[in-house]
Structure 1
Amino acid sequence: MLSALAVSLVLPLAGGLTATAIAAPAQAAPVQTAPVRTQIADAGATVSAVDWITDRRVAVWVNSPSMGIPIQVQILLARDWNKTPQATFPSVWMLDGMRATDTENGWTAETDAESWFADKNVNVILPVGGQSSFYSDWAEQNNGVNYKWETFLMKELPPILERDWRSNDTRAVAGLSMGGTAAMTLSARNPGFFKFAGSFSGILSTTTLGMPQAIGYAMQDAGGFDAGAMWGVPSSELWAQHDPYVLAEKLKGMSLYVSSGSGTAGEFDQQSDIPGISTNYAGMGLEILSRLTSQTFATKLNKLGIPASINYRPSGTHSWAYWQFELKQAWPQIATALGVDVDKPACSVGGNIGGTASANGWLGDCLTSEYDVAGGRAQDFRFGRVFTSDSGTFPVAGAVGGAYAGNGGPAGALGMPLSGELGTPDGRGRYNSFRNGMIYWTPQTGAHAVRGAILDEWARQGYEGGPLGYPLRDEVQTPSKPGAVQGFEIGAMYFSPDTGTHAVMGKIMEKYGQTGWENGALGFAKTNEVTVRDGGRFTEFQGGNIYWSPATGAWSILNGQIFDAWKSVG
């Protein structure tokens, strides 16, 4: 059905409507002063977890009071994040499309945004999830979710970004398709929050004849959502309150960018047998709707005397390659609105760092000059960092670089690096050595630091080749008693000042967990596993032992008269 609709819509455009649209684009918007806004109050959101994916890309899980679940937000940190640790940065919020997933924002999954933004001095905010949500507060729960995205983005998230992630209140927002619609509606509904709003193939008139039905069809196709649960029946006031066309006047004073293709096949599309028609039939139809509503929206901006940059491409469907192109086209305007440099400043590479960078061309171009860090010097590159000290000069990058940053970098517990990234003997993992520990990575376990007494014992047992395998978690302090624990593939390593460091593994670990871990009657481990008769094993703890055998399974025996009697008979 949608394919036939797409073909019927695209043929008139191929016949000449496109040329008319391109002939009279609106002029670029000068930067104007946005309305003054009051400081955002803390809305009670908390952070449940942080995962450093690289040294400048993090995933933050925010407990949303309004939605009642943790929401993942990924952040691409500003170019000078490491070099100027006291600085705050403007932010660019990048909104996803109708088929947003709960694992990763489409801008990093489908485009080169991560590497492209690396030399931009802004924090890039990437909400994850919100399929078919239009980033709005829904009237009703639907399809097992309670969407309150506007509340989350406008009230709950900003205090966390400002407090924990050095983001200031100078912001831009841009999005594709659904995200382009939301970029305009959120800006209009929250005056002064953003200085720039960009729509790439957005639906910018949601209440005109047939549009609520088209949106409803798209939402059903993308996740089985009911448009009525979002804003009620099409005639309800909620639909008008989320229509960029209706809200256009509230965008005065902002820097605006609107773009769309024509729906005809372009350079990034696969041509069908029909001239001008791509094989992406659904993408053609959606892009035509975007073009028509974008034109209507731009015409209203013009009547209201609101300047905007309008880019009507002569071809192109509703697809990521074009949105990546439009982001790069819009960047000079975004940068000007935020008051940051369009281009990265000049930097040079020399000395010890220069030699290491030349030998590791995968690092890419330099992003900063050299700068001081605890114990030495560092310089940032597009795909990693290089550190130099009296121990040598080494690159640290990727997931290992993320774990290093998450552990405080040179000023943290690990100190300066002692090696570049090396392969493990089994060919499965990678690692870097540091003055006070190591970071190990595999595709299955991620990157985790191992240090101190736990590293010493793990090394004695054979590192990743020993019984525990690779680290699965970072070291954490035990909650109620002095000590530490770190999870590995086959068990955990426990440390306490009174008992030292010992591994607890397999079925014995399962039984240990049933007894309450170190807070239970058994306390901390006093030995590693010991082999006994009949293929059995046991681990001694402060308050008793856990025995396991293939025939009997795992059982705990506490210190006391029963254990003493059993021990006395062998």
Structure 2
Amino acid sequence: MPRKVVAAVAVAASATLVVGGAPIAHADPNPAPTTQVAPKPEKKTPEKKAPEKKNDRSKKNDRSKKRADNTPAAKPTAPATVTKVNWYSAHRVALWVHSPAMNTDIQVQMLLARDWFAKPAAKFPQLTMLDGLRAQDDQSGWIINTNVEQFYADKNVNVVLPVGGESSFYTDWKEPDRGKNYKWETFLTKELPPILENDWRSTDVRAVEGLSMGGSAAMMLAARNPGFYKFAGSFSGILQLTSYGMPQAIQFAVRDGGGYDSAKMFGPPSDPAWKEHDPYLLADKLKGTSLYISSGNGVVGPHDKPSDIPLLATNYSGVGLEVLSRVTSQQFASKLGRLGIHGQAVYRPSGTHTWPYWQFEMVQAWPQVAGALGLSGDKVACTVGDAFKKAPQIRGLGGCLTPEYAVPGGRAQDFRNGRIFTGPKGPKVVGGAIGGVYVPTMERLGLPTSDEKTGRDGVKYNTFERGKIVWTPQTGARVE
């Protein structure tokens, strides 16, 4: 958003909105690209049943079909299907899911639960993490800007990272814009869940959180689909959409964030759709959901570069956006208090609208997320397995994440920096992008016969009983 616009909007919002009196808990905040690998061969998902009739009263559908405006999300004409799978590593996988509602493939990345391999019959709760206004079409901002992959490596939750959705607010738009037919609410609450639950060992115990636009969307989705999410978290979200000046501020934002028109999202400001998607007006629908609301206040903080003006960072747009976030978040938390709905409100004493603060909030919110997902008592409990105690490679693998477990033909154990397997030539480590390609090809290749080696021109490879996986900067990892 242009500096003058942001400053004007921030001042207008601050002047017209009365800051609520919710209790404030202060917290001081203390953020690696990865390599693409060859995709897994196309996986056919089981054929799904046709959409059920409106009068179907099944318990499973009842959890998600009711929305705050009393209308169901647009029902897909056919089930969503997975068209491609790409393994970045053994615990990070990308799915391309064809959305019938949007008539396009949507990339969804997953960080698989800690015990995914050690407990192959187990299912795990899921946490969806939403991106900001400038979401890219090729990669999640959480992957690019934070240590999300490392942070969740020791946690037993399937982390879901939708990719794309620039300026979408993750909602169903009235009209297409800029060649995109956004139907994100339908995708996230109707089309994607059966794939995650049927094919990727996720339960229907869900949480959602996001930064900025994603924080607004997290509260919006949770309120419009009561009971669908056990937890909703907003990190610097804008939590009022219909207050004086806010539709205009959002129009400026989506224009600046890709040239979109908010009238194609909700119609003109007078359209009822604005109120039907306003987290502040839908707050009563959040009763029973664990809620986390946070923001800074625009004052220069530890992750900002000070300007020549006292207390003002050089990130001028980040200053204005964080002021809007603080004002609307406090109003939202205040309304929750008036409604008797508990929400954890954590306001930082400084900081602008930028990624290092959202990395901090991701970590700070986790204990509450874990409680909502039933993971409060979950923790790493392992020692190096008997098959690997004498393996010299153990020293470079970091701490263990799982106990030793059985794999076809041998044993394995997961560590922070890779997986170690027994094999015909002793314990061998497989990790990184090569470890990702090994997941869907393990039965074909057999057990490893070497650790990762580096050949000429920086080529890396592991050998196996029946083949080799090679990685180059140009091609990523592939089976040879």
Specify the TM-score bucket, using the shorter chain as the normaliser: 0.7 to 0.9
What residue identity is the alignment partner of 1:370? E
User: Given the alignment, which residue of 162, 178, 185 partners 1:150?
Assistant: 185
Q: CA deviation at 1:13?
A: 13
- Corresponding residue for 2:476? 446
- Corresponding residue for 1:392? 426
Q: CA deviation at 1:7?
A: 5.9
Q: Structure 1-normalised TM-score? A: 0.72
Q: Give the unaligned 5+ runs of structure 1.
A: 27-34, 451-570
Mapping of residues 157-306 of structure 1, within 5 Å: 157-306=192-341
User: Given the alignment, which residue of 111, 119, 124 partners 1:84?
Assistant: 119
Q: CA deviation at 1:226?
A: 0.4
Give me the whole-angstrom Cα distance separating, in 2, the residues matched to 1:107 and 1:369: 29
- Corresponding residue for 1:380? 414
- Corresponding residue for 1:120? 155
Residues 10 and 263, structure 1, Cα contact 8 Å, conserved in 2: no
What residue identity is the alignment partner of 2:134? R
User: Given the alignment, which residue of 432, 442, 460 partners 2:462?
Assistant: 432
Q: CA deviation at 1:369?
A: 1.2
Give me the whole-angstrom Cα distance separating, in 1, the residues matched to 2:85 and 2:9: 46
Residues 135 and 167, structure 2, Cα contact 8 Å, conserved in 1: yes
Give me the whole-angstrom Cα distance separating, in 2, the residues matched to 1:7 and 1:138: 28
Larger radius of gyration: 1
Give me the whole-angstrom Cα distance separating, in 1, the residues matched to 2:12 and 2:313: 15
Give me the whole-angstrom Cα distance separating, in 1, the residues matched to 2:169 and 2:10: 25
Q: Structure 2-normalised TM-score? A: 0.86
Residues 9 and 288, structure 1, Cα contact 8 Å, conserved in 2: no
Give me the whole-angstrom Cα distance separating, in 1, the residues matched to 2:24 and 2:395: 49
Note the alpha carbon deviations across 1:39-65, whole angstroms, 9 max, x for none.
779951111100011011000000110
What residue identity is the alignment partner of 2:100? P
Q: 1:46–1:233: structure 2 CA closer, same or farther, 3 Å change rule? A: same
SS of equivalent to 2:171: coil
Give me the whole-angstrom Cα distance separating, in 1, the residues matched to 2:125 and 2:199: 14
Residues 37 and 193, structure 1, Cα contact 8 Å, conserved in 2: no
Give me the whole-angstrom Cα distance separating, in 1, the residues matched to 2:245 and 2:11: 20
Give me the whole-angstrom Cα distance separating, in 2, the residues matched to 1:404 and 1:188: 41
Q: CA deviation at 1:422?
A: 0.6
Single out whichever of 346-355 and 281-290 deviates more from structure 2.
346-355
User: Given the alignment, which residue of 166, 172, 179 partners 1:137?
Assistant: 172
Q: CA deviation at 1:189?
A: 0.9
- Corresponding residue for 2:40? none
- Corresponding residue for 1:370? 404
Give me the whole-angstrom Cα distance separating, in 2, the residues matched to 1:265 and 1:71: 37
User: Given the alignment, which residue of 379, 404, 416 partners 1:344?
Assistant: 379
Q: CA deviation at 1:24?
A: 4.1
Q: CA deviation at 1:345?
A: 2.4
Q: CA deviation at 1:10?
A: 8.0
Q: CA deviation at 1:357?
A: 6.2
Give me the whole-angstrom Cα distance separating, in 1, the residues matched to 2:150 and 2:395: 17
Residues 126 and 158, structure 2, Cα contact 8 Å, conserved in 1: yes
Residues 356 and 386, structure 1, Cα contact 8 Å, conserved in 2: no
Residues 22 and 312, structure 1, Cα contact 8 Å, conserved in 2: no
- Corresponding residue for 1:417? 448
What residue identity is the alignment partner of 2:62? T
Does 2:125 correspond to 1:94?
A: no
User: Given the alignment, which residue of 90, 93, 97 partners 1:58?
Assistant: 93
What residue identity is the alignment partner of 1:154? T
Q: 1:20–1:49: structure 2 CA closer, same or farther, 3 Å change rule? A: closer
Q: CA deviation at 1:384?
A: 1.3
Give me the whole-angstrom Cα distance separating, in 1, the residues matched to 2:264 and 2:314: 33
Q: 1:417–1:36: structure 2 CA closer, same or farther, 3 Å change rule? A: closer
SS of equivalent to 2:250: helix
Residues 205 and 373, structure 2, Cα contact 8 Å, conserved in 1: yes
Q: CA deviation at 1:344?
A: 2.3
Q: Does 1 or 2 have the higher relative contact order (CA < 8 Å, sep 6+)?
A: 2
User: Given the alignment, which residue of 293, 299, 313 partners 2:348?
Assistant: 313
What is the Cα-based RMSD across aligned positions, in Å?
2.6
Residues 385 and 404, structure 2, Cα contact 8 Å, conserved in 1: no
SS of equivalent to 1:38: helix
What residue identity is the alignment partner of 1:445? T
Does 2:68 correspond to 1:38?
A: no
Give me the whole-angstrom Cα distance separating, in 1, the residues matched to 2:8 and 2:82: 49
Note the alpha carbon deviations across 1:159-208, whole angstroms, 9 max, x for none.
11111100010000000000001101111111111000000000000100
Give me the whole-angstrom Cα distance separating, in 1, the residues matched to 2:272 and 2:23: 36
Give me the whole-angstrom Cα distance separating, in 2, the residues matched to 1:12 and 1:394: 62
SS of equivalent to 2:238: coil
What residue identity is the alignment partner of 1:374? P
Does 2:437 correspond to 1:406?
A: no
Residues 22 and 314, structure 1, Cα contact 8 Å, conserved in 2: no
Q: Percent identity?
A: 56
Q: Give the unaligned 5+ runs of structure 2.
A: 27-58, 65-74
Q: 1:209–1:9: structure 2 CA closer, same or farther, 3 Å change rule? A: closer
Q: CA deviation at 1:36?
A: 7.8
Single out whichever of 341-350 and 394-403 deviates more from structure 2.
341-350
SS of equivalent to 1:51: strand
Note the alpha carbon deviations across 1:240-277, whole angstroms, 9 max, x for none.
11100011000000100000000011111111111211
Residues 88 and 168, structure 1, Cα contact 8 Å, conserved in 2: yes
Give me the whole-angstrom Cα distance separating, in 2, the residues matched to 1:232 and 1:444: 45
Give me the whole-angstrom Cα distance separating, in 2, the residues matched to 1:431 and 1:236: 58
Q: 1:359–1:81: structure 2 CA closer, same or farther, 3 Å change rule? A: closer
What residue identity is the alignment partner of 1:383? N
SS of equivalent to 1:245: coil
- Corresponding residue for 1:543? none
